[in-house]
Amino acid sequence: MKRALIFILAALLLTSCGQTEEHSATVFAMDTVMELTAYGENGEAALEAAKTEIYRLDGLFDRRNEDGEIFALNKNGGGEVSDDTAGLLRRGEEIRALTGGAFDMTVAPVMDLWGFYGQDYRVPDGAELAAALEKVGGEVTVEGNTVTLGEGTLLDPGGIAKGWASARLMEIFREKGVTSGLVSLGGSVQALGSRPDGTPWRVAIQDPDGEGYAAVLSLTDTAAVTSGDYQRYFEQDGKIYHHIIDPSTGRPADSGLRSVTVVCRDGALADGLSTALFVMGRERALDLWRESGGFEAVFIDSDGGIAATAGLRGLIRSDKEIVFCE
Residue 165 is a binding residue for ligand AMP (CB under 6 A): no
Does residue 227 contact residue 275 with C-beta atoms inside 8 Å?
A: yes
Q: What is the smallest separation between the CB atom of 211 and ligand AMP, expressed in angstroms?
A: 19
Q: What is the smallest separation between the CB atom of 91 and ligand AMP, expressed in angstroms?
A: 12
Phi/psi of residue 198, each to 5°?
90, -10
> Of Mg ion, ligand AMP, none, which one sits near residue 103, judging by CB under 5 to 8 A according to partner kind?
ligand AMP
Phi/psi of residue 33, each to 5°?
-90, 130
Residue 159 is a binding residue for Mg ion (CB under 5 A): yes
Residue 274 is a binding residue for ligand AMP (CB under 6 A): yes
Candidate segments 139-147, 176-184, 244-252, 269-277, binder of Mg ion by CB under 5 A:
269-277
Query: Of 87 and 200, which has the nearer Cβ to ligand AMP?
Result: 87
HEC readout, 291-324:
HHCCCEEEEEECCCCEEEEHHHCCCEECCCCEEE
Of 107, 257, 280, 286, the one binding ligand AMP by CB under 6 A: 107
Candidate segments 36-44, 69-77, 121-129, 243-251, binder of ligand AMP by CB under 6 A:
243-251
Does residue 308 contact residue 322 with C-beta atoms inside 8 Å?
A: yes
Task: Specify whether the backbone of 186 is left (phi greater than 0), alpha (psi in -120 to 50) or beta.
Answer: left
Residue 155 is a binding residue for ligand AMP (CB under 6 A): no
Does residue 216 contact residue 316 with C-beta atoms inside 8 Å?
A: yes
Residue type, position 202, single letter: R
Of 92, 271, 298, 300, the one binding Mg ion by CB under 5 A: 271
Residues 6+ apart with CB under 8 A from 233: 240, 241, 242, 243, 252
Residue type, position 106, single letter: T
Candidate segments 77-85, 102-110, 196-204, 318-326, binder of ligand AMP by CB under 6 A:
102-110
Residue 98 is a binding residue for ligand AMP (CB under 6 A): no
> Could you tell me how many residues of this chain bind ligand AMP (CB under 6 A)?
20
Distances (CA, A) of 119 to 112, 285, 314: 9, 30, 41
3-class DSSP state of 312:
helix
3-class DSSP state of 31:
coil
> Of ligand AMP, Mg ion, none, which one sits near residue 243, judging by CB under 5 to 8 A according to partner kind?
ligand AMP
Residues near Mg ion (CB under 5 A) are 159, 271, 274-275
Residues near ligand AMP (CB under 6 A) are 103-105, 107, 111, 116, 156, 158-159, 227, 231-232, 243-245, 247, 271, 274-275, 279
